[in-house]
Amino acid sequence: MELKKQQKFIYDTAEFVRKFFSQNTDGHDWWHTYRVWQLSLKIRKEEKQGDHFIIETESLLHDIDDWKLTGKTKLVNAEKWLSAHKIEKKFCNHIFQDIKNISYKGAYVSDDVLSLEGKIVQDADRLDAMGAIGIARAFAYGGSKHRILFDPEARPNMHKSFSEYQNSDGSTIHHFYEKLLLLKDRMNTETARNMADQRHQFMKNFLKQFNKEWNVKE
C-alpha cells in the first residue's frame, strides 16, 4: 500500500476506534487506545525498528475484540474492518496474530510469541496499565465489574491458566499483585523497560500509602 493510502487508512481507523469506544467508561476507552498508539510510536522511534504501518494499525485495533469487553476471543471487529478496506492478506495475518496474543493471560502464563511490532504494541499497552494512569484504570475497570476495593482476608490469586485469569473476581487491590506489579519484568524492549521503572515505583508507593490508611489501628 502506498504511503498516502496508509496514512488515510490510519486516520480512518483512528476515527472508527474513537467512535467504537465512545461509550466506554471502564478504562478501555478511546483515550487508552490513543495513549497506546502514541506510546507505540515513541518506542518504535527510540528502538529504531519495526514497521510503522503495522505498529499503528495494531495499536489502534488492539482492544476492539478484547475478551474483557466482548466476552469472546475471536477477532470479529478487526477482521471486518481490515477486510472492508482490502488490506493485503500478508498484513492482515501479521496483525491478527499479534492482536490475538498481546493481552496478559495470567501471572504464571507465559507470554505468547509476537512479532517485533507486536512486542512494541504489547509494551505500550502494558505501560498504560502502570503508574498513575494504570491505577486510575484499574479502579475504573474494577468498579465496572462491581469488584470491591480490597478484601484483607483474601490473598492474591497467581493464576496458572488463562481460563483461571478470565474467571477471576478478586478485589482491585489484589489485581496489582496478580498483574500490574508483574508487568515491569515482562517488557520486551529496552525503551519500555526504562519507562516502566518509574511507573512501577509509583504503584508501589501508592500501595504503601493505601495499606497505611487501611490499617488505621496501627
Q: What is the pLDDT of residues 32-49, one digit of tens each?
A: 999 999 999 999 999 999
**3 state DSSP class of 59:** helix
Average pLDDT in the 60-71 region?
Answer: 89
DSSP conformational letter for 185: G
Residues 54 and 94: their CA atoms lie apart, in Å, by 8
Domain ranges of the chain: 3-214
Residues 71 and 166: their CA atoms lie apart, in Å, by 10
**3 state DSSP class of 187:** coil
Q: Which residue has the cell 488492539?
A: 62
Residues 123 and 155: their CA atoms lie apart, in Å, by 27
| pLDDT for the residue numbered 182 | 98
Among 26-40, 64-78, 161-175, 198-212, which is the least confidently predicted range? 64-78
Grade residue 216 by pLDDT with cuts at 50, 70 and 90.
confident
Going 28 to 30 to 33 to 39, the CA torsion angle's sign is negative
Per residue in 72-107, pLDDT (tens digit) is 778 999 999 999 999 999 999 999 999 999 999 999
Mean pLDDT of the chain: 95
Phi/psi class of residue 151: alpha, beta or left (left: φ > 0; alpha: ψ in -120 to 50)? beta
pTM: 0.95
Average pLDDT in the 163-186 region?
Answer: 96
The number of residues in the chain equals 218
| pLDDT for the residue numbered 67 | 86
| pLDDT for the residue numbered 218 | 58
CATH number of 3-214: 1.10.3210.50
| pLDDT for the residue numbered 68 | 83
